[in-house]
A and B are shown apart, each in its own frame.
Chain A
Amino acid sequence: MAQEYKLILKHVDAPGYGRDLDSYLHHGGYQTLGKALHMPARDLPDGKKMTAQEQIREEVKISGLRGRGGAGFSCGLKWSFVDRKSGKPIYLICNADESEPGTFKDRQIMYKDPHQLIEGMAIACFANDVHLAYIYIRGEMVDGARILNEALREARARNFIGRNILGSGYDLEIHVHRGAGAYICGEETGLIESLEGKRPYPRIKPPYFPAVLGLWMCPTIVNNVETLCNVKHIVAMGGNEFAKLGTPNNTGTRIVSLSGHVRKPGYYEIEVGKATMRELIFDPQFGGGLRDGRNLKAVIPGGSSAKVFKAGEKFKLKKKDAEGREILVETDMLDLPYDFDSLAAAGSMSGSSAIIVMDDSTDIVEALANVSEFYAHESCGQCTPCREGSLWMSKTLHRLTHGEGRAGDADYLLKIADNIPGGRTICAFGEACSWPVQSFVAKFKDEFVAKGKADEERRAGQGNELAKAPTEAAAHH
């Protein structure tokens, strides 16, 4: 049976645990940083030496750690792309913008255990020869910024950051940088532009891969809060031990944010892939099931950008049988293990590991209208398909939810959504705003069509001229 596994949240909600430095030190805090900074060089068979930094980077590779911010990209691989020969300084930015609807895990770490993040960052910075790093925290987390600044002050006073850290000769400064209410600042190149003091317009890749041309055109590492905390645990336990947590290619733990129509919404840390969606939603130690008399209607499995699952939906997943042969197994949406690869195989993603549950009281058209309004508001506006498309989709859904829908709106929505992603935009927001529309409309098409039809019939009954008007022009107003 699935269980919570608290690696990162080990102390967070323990009675008597505070976010102050003494509490952290009392629980072994900053010992891993000390270990990292004083790690002796290792002799290699060919007579060469492997520096402490190289060893840590190797452990992170061995651990199989994948980014916790949304894309699930290998952390070790990302670090290996850093241009270490340019002669320019290397920067590290902690992405603490946490704005993907449904997600509230980084908040728990920063507000309740800020030193864990600072220790993880310090180790990641040391391993990558970074001497100046920033925590980019979303603007609304005013208290979060204060807490981090206080924690940094404490850490500086005890020489866990600053000059010649713990006598190692290594210098590192970390500053807090606040956003100001724009979701696109979470996209790493938008974030970099924002940090530089500009509008957060994402940069086009190539050539602006942060690992080569990032902050001030210098090599830059952008990692999520939870990812950086994991780095500390990897160095503490070793990459191989870490890789034993979770499932192959989906190692370690993840903090799942569970919200919507469950009895016990909240954050739950699990070994990746060791709990199914069903367990997370229905098991009493996790979501505890739906309200009385309600049935499941839909689940968004990885933040609002992830494609929705419809209750009862089945997928054919590859599995190995007893003799190691690959077989296809029909799997209900609820029986998907909550990990990176299974959700991707089912056509969606675990994204920021935020599950939003909707029961049968939900008007699915209203739900999509809500999500689309978010994207229309948050598009940065650089790319025409994204700027116009997100707005058209939102306006079409607005009319569908305000008695002015048309039967053809479902197809119209799909047509717009299909024309945004796929290399037509600068950043992945183009995909993010299309996926909800594509999946909601395809999987609940009858509800979208019925709503539009009902509106048309009602208007026809009232002798409204617009009843049969061509749909497209009207949506553009």
Chain B
Amino acid sequence: MINQNNLNVMSFNASKELEAEVDELISHYPVKRAASLMVLHAIQEKFGWISQDAILWAARKLELPPINLFEILTFYPMLRQQPMGRYQIKVCRTLSCALGGAYGLHRHLCDRLGLDAHAHGPQTTKDGRFTVEFVECLASCGTAPVMMCNDHFHEGVTLEKADAITSACK
């Protein structure tokens, strides 16, 4: 929980590099608060998720009450409140991809990685290597089914292609 006491406990270690990146982002807007989402993206890119301490650090940088950042962290699906697998697989489940076999693809990935295809939300393997989740339309419906593996986008993903992609994730 965020409370007044741990506002002083800043165990978050921002590198010089992150600090500089955040300062640059803030300079893009006449109002600091507008940089919030981009700052959270920058933090997540470095750490993989956004901790309470990271929120407190960002709040101080942006001169905002932490709740302002916490309320966006809890709204946007891409922002993570806990660590995820090293490889995050997002399978599009929306209509064009569903017509193109997205549900079969998702089930196949879950089976192969020992995850429950029917569980709600992102599922992470015990070894922390993979997180698999369904997401909504990824704006590539003409090459259904599609998925992302971390930042990389994959089109027309057959089951064989999916196996090749996961095998390449070390």
* A contacts, CB < 8 Å to B: 98-104, 106-107, 132, 138-143, 175, 177-183, 194-200, 216, 257-261, 265-267, 300, 304, 354, 356, 358, 362, 366-367, 370-371, 373-374, 377-378
Looking across the interface, which residue of chain A has its beta carbon closest to that of B74?
A199
Chain B residues with Cβ under 8 A from A366's Cβ?
98
Give Cα A182 to B72, complex, Å.
Answer: 11
Chain A residues with Cβ under 8 A from B38's Cβ?
177-178
Q: Tell me if A140 and B78 are in contact (CB < 8 A).
A: yes
Nearest chain B CB to A434's CB is how many angstroms away? 17
Q: Tell me if B95 and A195 are in contact (CB < 8 A).
A: no
Q: Which of B33, B96, B141 has the most CB of A within 10 A?
A: B96
Q: Does B135 contact A (CB under 8 A)?
A: yes
Q: Tell me if B95 and A371 are in contact (CB < 8 A).
A: yes
Q: List 7 A-B contacts (CB under 8 A).
A: A100-B137, A139-B76, A177-B38, A179-B37, A259-B96, A259-B99, A367-B98
Q: Tell me if B35 and A102 are in contact (CB < 8 A).
A: no
Q: Tell me if A140 and B141 are in contact (CB < 8 A).
A: no
Chain B residues with Cβ under 8 A from A138's Cβ?
139
Chain A residues with Cβ under 8 A from B84's Cβ?
none
| Secondary structure of the A contact surface, majority rule | mixed
Give Cα A370 to B100, complex, Å.
Answer: 13
Chain A residues with Cβ under 8 A from B100's Cβ?
260
Q: Tell me if A99 and B28 are in contact (CB < 8 A).
A: no
Q: Does B68 contact A (CB under 8 A)?
A: yes
Chain B residues with Cβ under 8 A from A183's Cβ?
136
Q: Does B162 contact A (CB under 8 A)?
A: no
Quick one: given A139-B78, A182-B76, are A102 and B141 in contact (CB under 8 Å)? yes
Q: Tell me if A103 and B141 are in contact (CB < 8 A).
A: yes
Q: Does B143 contact A (CB under 8 A)?
A: yes
Give Cα A178 to B139, complex, Å.
Answer: 15
Q: Does B153 contact A (CB under 8 A)?
A: yes
Q: Mark B94-110, 1 if CB is under 8 A from A, else 0.
A: 11101110000000000
Quick one: given A99-B137, A102-B96, A181-B78, are A197 and B68 in contact (CB under 8 Å)? yes
Quick one: given A356-B141, A374-B136, are A260 and B99 in contact (CB under 8 Å)? yes
Nearest chain B CB to A312's CB is how many angstroms away? 20
Q: Which of B33, B36, B37 has the most CB of A within 10 A?
A: B37
Q: Tell me if B139 and A98 are in contact (CB < 8 A).
A: yes
Q: Does B160 contact A (CB under 8 A)?
A: no
Chain B residues with Cβ under 8 A from A175's Cβ?
28-29
Q: Which of B40, B137, B140 has the most CB of A within 10 A?
A: B137
Nearest chain B CB to A117's CB is how many angstroms away? 15
Chain B residues with Cβ under 8 A from A199's Cβ?
71-72, 75
Nearest chain A CB to B157's CB is how many angstroms away? 14
Looking across the interface, which residue of chain A has its beta carbon closest to that of B45?
A142
Give Cα A199 to B37, complex, Å.
Answer: 10
Q: Tell me if A267 and B142 are in contact (CB < 8 A).
A: yes
Give Cα A247 to B38, complex, Å.
Answer: 42
Q: Tell me if A182 and B77 are in contact (CB < 8 A).
A: yes
Q: Does B151 contact A (CB under 8 A)?
A: yes
Q: Tell me if A259 and B142 are in contact (CB < 8 A).
A: yes
Q: Tell me if A139 and B41 are in contact (CB < 8 A).
A: yes
Q: Tell me if A196 and B33 are in contact (CB < 8 A).
A: yes
Q: Mark B128-170, 1 if CB is under 8 A from A, else 0.
A: 0000000111111111100010011100000000000000000
* 4 further interface pairs, Cβ-Cβ under 8 Å (given A183-B136, A200-B75, A260-B95): A139-B76, A141-B139, A257-B142, A366-B98
Among B144, B152, B153, the residue within 8 A (CB) of A265 is B144
Looking across the interface, which residue of chain B has its beta carbon closest to that of A373?
B93
Q: Tell me if B34 and A197 are in contact (CB < 8 A).
A: yes
Q: Tell me if B94 and A304 are in contact (CB < 8 A).
A: yes
Q: Does B1 contact A (CB under 8 A)?
A: no
Lowest 3 A-B CB distances belong to which pairs? A197-B36, A180-B76, A181-B78
Q: Does B79 contact A (CB under 8 A)?
A: yes
Chain A residues with Cβ under 8 A from B144's Cβ?
259, 265
Give Cα A178 to B98, complex, Å.
Answer: 27
